[in-house]
């Protein structure tokens, strides 16, 4: 075992980098090794389906830190060499990478993120069938969209979640025809309110995107090894020059399983980001955490967002340096679909009342969601001031009178009022 309690962080994405950064900010001076699977330094993933894909951002705009920052902070970044095996006991352990490198550690953080759900249908391996998670995926997709755009081609997106809709908007902007095939009855159904799903359905159709709901892809057809169409379970076929499979992501838990850690759809962690061995911390997309947000509803949740990866990493760092504090940061999220900017704060769950502020057809409006008379979440389209006000209010445990909120001429920040004493609306357990 190493003489110093060296920290190994597996996964050089947002959570991994933030964990290393937070350790340094907390005054930890022990060696840190940050091991990544991708060939590049940690970068901001959201632009892959937005500015980077649209060509308005380059890699230099989205990489988090230059090489000298790692040197200055004594963080040994090891890219392009994933950890393949790992063993540990209470004192520490040893990991081996794909190239055969052995890394001893005293403390361990797993920040392995998530992997795209696989579409298991015939034709999945045809050329022109892609998914999107990494920079390399985004580069491939950009090339395919450029190729298809030049010949009046069509992108078919399988899956109407955030990534699918963002890529659909980017492809329309590049002049492609676009179709979306979504298995459920509404877009974004897993994470947003039905009212917001309806809005996005209408908005994408207004932008000449064909959206089909309640259909699943049963086969991808092709000629000479290249995709030409998507056959749906209603026996129709949509012609395709490029297909993006965007049907969700699953937590990467292989290493946690090797370590014998409890896994339940994600690495099971407590409120301090500690895995079931009480020593390893796990952060971000790869975890399943106790739900601190839904009042009275016990259970666990997975969150896939940059806010969560960052805030959860800070919780894990505090745990590693022996100053644990329970994780309860307010979840927030955003999505840019072409010219539409969505900002969400809080979690849409067990909502019993929704107030619409503004007119959705203007593409600038806010949905305020209530449970038992108290504000729990807001979905803001083109209304950044509302988002800022609600985010601040929910963080402080405040609420907004639903009747007063319907008048968009009154700034929401003026309507914030204290919630029940001592309780935070967003994070009551
Ligand atoms: C296209 C796209 C758009 C998105 N848009 C938004 C958005 O608009 N807003 C938002 O909030 N969130 C968005 N997200 C989600 C957000 O990027 C993730 O929630 C966030 O990056 C999670 O951070 P993480 O550290 O948990 O995982 P990641 O950032 O995914 O990092 C995990 C890293 O671990 C590596 N890894 C895995 N296994 C190993 C191993 N064995 N050894 C070494 N390395 C390993 C992976 O290759 C990866 O680089 C988007 C994601 C994608 C893919």
Atom of ligand 1 nearest to the CA of 283: 26
Other CB atoms within 10 A of residue 136 CB: 11
Residues 134 and 103 in one domain: no
SS3 (DSSP) at 402: helix
CA distance 180 to 122: 19
Q: Ligand 1 centroid vs 361 CA: distance in angstroms?
A: 33
Note whether 391 and 298 are same-domain residues: no
Q: Contact, 426 vs 330, CB < 8 A?
A: yes
Within a domain: 396:
yes
Confidence at residue 3, expressed as pLDDT on a 0 to 100 scale: 52
**CATH number of the domain that 172 lies in?**
3.50.50.60
Residues 6+ apart with CB under 8 A from 223: none
Does the C-beta of 132 come closer than 6 Å to ligand 1?
Answer: yes
Three-state DSSP class for residue 206? helix
On whether both 23 and 71 belong to a single domain, the answer is: yes
Nearest CA to ligand 1 atom 45: 11
Q: How far is the CA of 14 from the centre of ligand 1 (A)?
A: 6
Tell which of 231, 247, 263 closes a domain.
247
- 302 Cβ below 6 A of ligand 1: no
Q: Token pair of 133, please? A: 């998670």
Mean pLDDT of the 249-268 span: 98
Provide the β-strand partners of residue 282. Answer: 110
For a substitution probing ligand 1, which of 14, 79, 164, 165 has the most ligand atoms within 8 Å of its CB?
14
Dump the DSSP string for 333-355: EEEEETTEEEEEEE---S--EEE
In a domain, 328, yes or no: no
Q: Which of 244, 278, 249, 279 is nearest to 266 (CA)?
A: 249
Q: Is residue 77 a contact partner of residue 41, using CB atoms and an 8 Å limit?
A: yes
User: Please, what is the end-to-end C-alpha distance for the chain in angstroms?
Assistant: 40
Q: Is residue 227 part of a domain?
A: yes
Q: Let me know if residue 408 belongs to a domain.
A: yes
Answer yes or no: is pLDDT of 126 > 80.
Answer: yes
Asked whether residue 307 falls in the same domain as residue 278, the answer is yes
Mean pLDDT, to the nearest integer, of 95-110? 98
Residue 334 lies in a domain: no
**Of 12, 13, 258, 335, which is best to mutate to test ligand 1, by the most ligand atoms within 8 angstroms of its C-beta?**
13
Residues 6+ apart with CB under 8 A from 142: 53, 55
Residues 147 and 63 placed together within one structural domain of the fold: no
Mean pLDDT of 125-129: 98
Which among 64, 93, 7 is positioned nearest to 309, based on CA atoms? 64
* Range of weakest confidence among 8-17, 45-54, 228-237, 284-293: 284-293
Question: Are 192 and 232 members of one domain?
Answer: yes
CB of 109 closer than 6 angstroms to any ligand 1 atom: no
What is d(CA 76, CA 87) in angstroms, rounded to the nearest whole number?
20
- DSSP letter for each residue of 21-59: HHHHHTT--S-EEEE-SSSS--B-SGGGGTHHHHTSS-H
Whole-number Å distance, alpha carbon 152 to ligand 1 midpoint, is 32
At 424 the pLDDT is: 42
Contact, 243 vs 156, CB < 8 A?
A: yes
Q: Give pLDDT, residue 297.
A: 56
Query: Per the domain annotation, does 426 fall within a domain?
Result: no
Candidates 285, 303, 310: which one to mutate for ligand 1, based on the most atoms within 8 Å of Cβ?
285
Q: What is the pLDDT of residue 425?
A: 43
Mean pLDDT, rounded, for 343-362: 95
Domain boundary among 230, 247, 264: 247
> Which stretches within 293-371 are classed as H helix?
306-320
pLDDT for res 399: 95
165 Cβ inside 6 Å of ligand 1: no
Q: Is the pLDDT of residue 428 over 60?
A: no
d(CA 47, CA 41): 15
Please calculate the CA angle 204-162-298 and round it to the nearest 5 degrees: 130
Which of 12, 113, 338 has the most ligand 1 atoms within 8 A of CB, as the residue to mutate? 113
Say if residue 203's pLDDT is above 90.
yes
Domain around 265 = 7-115+250-320
Q: Does residue 377's CB lie within 6 angstroms of at least one atom of ligand 1?
A: no
- 293 pLDDT more than 90: no
Is 265 found in the same domain as 241? no
Cβ 131 vs Cβ 229: under 8 Å: no
What is the per-residue pLDDT for 103?
97
Q: 33 pLDDT band (50/70/90 cuts)?
A: very high
CA of 133 from ligand 1 middle (Å) equals: 7
Q: Is 48 in the pocket of ligand 1 (CB under 6 A)?
A: yes
Domain boundary among 225, 247, 269: 247
Residue 157 has pLDDT above 80, yes or no: yes
Q: Which of 65-69, 173-177, 226-230, 423-427 has the lowest average pLDDT? A: 423-427
pLDDT of residue 294: 59
Q: Which of 3-17, 104-118, 188-202 has the lowest mean pLDDT?
A: 3-17
190 plus 282 within the same structural domain: no
Task: Note whether 197 and 219 are same-domain residues.
Answer: yes
pLDDT for res 401: 96
Share of the chain above pLDDT 90, in %: 90
Q: Are residues 310 and 221 in the same domain?
A: no
- Looking at residue 409, its pLDDT comes to 94
Within 10 angstroms of residue 90's Cβ, the number of other Cβ atoms is 8
pLDDT tier for residue 260 given thresholds of 50, 70 and 90: very high
Q: Could you give the number of structural domains in the chain?
A: 3
Tell me how far CA of residue 410 lies from CA of 343, 383, 389, 413, in angstroms: 19, 13, 12, 9
CATH assignment at residue 357: 3.30.390.30
CB of 305 within 6 A of ligand 1: the answer is yes
Q: pLDDT band at 426, cuts 50/70/90?
A: very low
Average pLDDT, the chain: 94
pLDDT for 429 beyond 70: no
């Amino acid at each position: 075992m190493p003489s110093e309690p060296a920290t190994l962080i597996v996964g050089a994405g947002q959570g991994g980098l933030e964990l290393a950064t937070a350790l340094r900010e907390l005054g930890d001076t022990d060696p840190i090794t940050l091991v990544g699977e991708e060939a590049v330094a940690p970068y901001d993933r959201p632009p892959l389906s937005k500015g980077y894909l649209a060509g308005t951002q380059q890699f230099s705009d989205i990489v988090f830190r230059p090489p000298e920052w790692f040197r200055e902070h004594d963080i040994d970044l090891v890219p392009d060499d994933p950890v393949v095996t790992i063993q540990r006991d209470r004192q520490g352990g040893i990991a081996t990478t794909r190239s055969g490198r052995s890394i001893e550690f005293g403390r361990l953080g797993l920040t392995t993120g998530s992997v795209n759900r696989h579409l298991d249908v015939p034709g999945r391996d045809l050329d022109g069938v892609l998914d999107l998670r990494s920079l390399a995926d985004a580069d491939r997709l950009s090339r395919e969209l450029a190729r298809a755009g030049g010949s009046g081609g069509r992108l078919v997106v399988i899956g109407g979640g955030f990534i699918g809709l963002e890529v659909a908007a980017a492809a329309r902007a590049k002049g492609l025809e676009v179709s979306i095939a979504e298995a459920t009855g509404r877009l974004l159904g897993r994470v947003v309110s039905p009212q917001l799903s309806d809005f996005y359905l209408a908005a994408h159709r207004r932008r000449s995107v064909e959206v089909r709901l309640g259909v699943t892809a049963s086969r991808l057809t092709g000629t000479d090894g290249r995709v030409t169409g998507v056959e749906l379970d209603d026996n129709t076929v949509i012609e395709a020059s490029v297909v993006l499979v965007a049907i969700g992501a699953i937590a990467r838990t292989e290493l946690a399983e090797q370590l014998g850690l409890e896994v339940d759809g994600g690495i099971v962690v407590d409120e301090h980001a500690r895995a079931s061995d009480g020593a390893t911390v796990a952060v971000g997309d790869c975890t399943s955490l106790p739900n601190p947000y839904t009042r009275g509803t016990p259970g666990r949740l997975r969150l896939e967002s940059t806010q969560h990866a960052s805030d959860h990493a800070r919780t894990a760092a505090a745990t590693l340096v022996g100053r644990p504090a329970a994780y309860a940061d307010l979840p927030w999220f955003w999505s840019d679909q072409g010219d539409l900017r969505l900002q969400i704060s809080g979690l849409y769950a067990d909502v019993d009342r929704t107030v619409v502020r503004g007119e959705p057809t203007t593409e600038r409006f806010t949905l305020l969601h209530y449970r038992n008379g108290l504000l729990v979440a807001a979905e803001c389209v083109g209304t950044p001031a509302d988002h800022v006000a609600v985010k601040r209010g929910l963080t402080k445990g405040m609420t907004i009178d639903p009747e007063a909120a319907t008048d968009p001429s009154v700034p929401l920040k003026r309507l914030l009022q204290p919630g029940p004493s001592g309780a935070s609306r967003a994070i009551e357990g």
